């Protein structure tokens, strides 16, 4: 009990420091949303250039198909993000996303260091799934921020993309199962 009340005290003190007023918190959250939207806009644009490289390096037809389909989807997601900016009364703006830049660089290195065929394909899938998981985490978070701020249109748009990223991840998992068996043989 004693340790509990102590940590509770600390928690309360920290909370009253961080959350001064409701308006401050909402402003902070809105800033976070806007900032991360710019990151995401950079990331999706970068992916429209990175995915074609993955397609050129892939050999398994199912993987080529899955990546090609997601390239089309990604191009639509760029446009959808522009709608999100618009719904928030903002102009689309990109800010370099260091995390996505790193994931894309890793994918490039992986493709250079493997032989073309099932092993490189397995590597491409692992890189692509890391990208999808990053996107799923980001879209999920931003949808929650938009919901909290009462930005329903933005939340709905972000949710459409979130579902597409989950679909892409599932499609890659399905291709991975068949490729990993082949790569191990």
- Contacts with Fe ion by CB under 5 A lie at 74, 77, 135, 165, 168
Q: How far apart are CA 125 and CA 134, in angstroms?
A: 14
The full length of the chain comes to: 185
User: Nearest distance from residue 45's CB to Fe ion, in Å?
Assistant: 10
User: Nearest distance from residue 67's CB to Fe ion, in Å?
Assistant: 10
User: Nearest distance from residue 2's CB to Fe ion, in Å?
Assistant: 49
CB of 134 or CB of 145, closer to Fe ion = 134
Could you tell me where the beta strands, DSSP code E, fall in 64-129?
A: none
CB of 151 or CB of 165, closer to Fe ion = 165
CB of 45 or CB of 60, closer to Fe ion = 45
Q: How far apart are CA 11 and CA 41, in angstroms?
A: 35
Q: Taking the CA atoms of the chain, what radius of gyration do you get in angstroms?
A: 20
User: Nearest distance from residue 179's CB to Fe ion, in Å?
Assistant: 19
Beta carbons of 39 and 97 less than 8 angstroms apart = yes
CB of 76 or CB of 90, closer to Fe ion = 76
Q: How far apart are CA 105 and CA 20, in angstroms?
A: 41
């Amino acid at each position: 009990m004693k340790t509990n009340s102590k940590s509770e005290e600390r928690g309360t003190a920290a909370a009253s420091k961080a959350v001064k007023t409701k308006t401050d918190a909402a402003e902070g959250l809105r800033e976070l949303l806007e900032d991360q939207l710019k990151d995401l806009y950079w990331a999706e644009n970068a992916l429209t250039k990175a995915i074609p490289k993955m397609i050129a390096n892939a050999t398994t037809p199912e993987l080529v198909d899955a990546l090609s389909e997601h390239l089309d989807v990604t191009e639509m997601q760029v446009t959808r993000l522009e709608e999100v900016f618009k719904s928030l009364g903002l102009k689309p703006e990109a800010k370099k996303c260091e995390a996505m830049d790193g994931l894309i660089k890793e994918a490039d290195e992986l493709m250079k260091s493997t032989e073309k065929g099932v092993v490189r394909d397995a590597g491409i899938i692992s890189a692509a799934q890391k990208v999808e998981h990053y996107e799923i985490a980001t879209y999920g978070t931003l949808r929650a921020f938009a919901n909290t701020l009462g930005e329903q249109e933005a939340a709905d748009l972000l949710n459409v993309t979130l579902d597409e990223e989950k679909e892409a991840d599932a499609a890659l998992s399905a291709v991975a199962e068949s490729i990993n068996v082949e790569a191990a043989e």
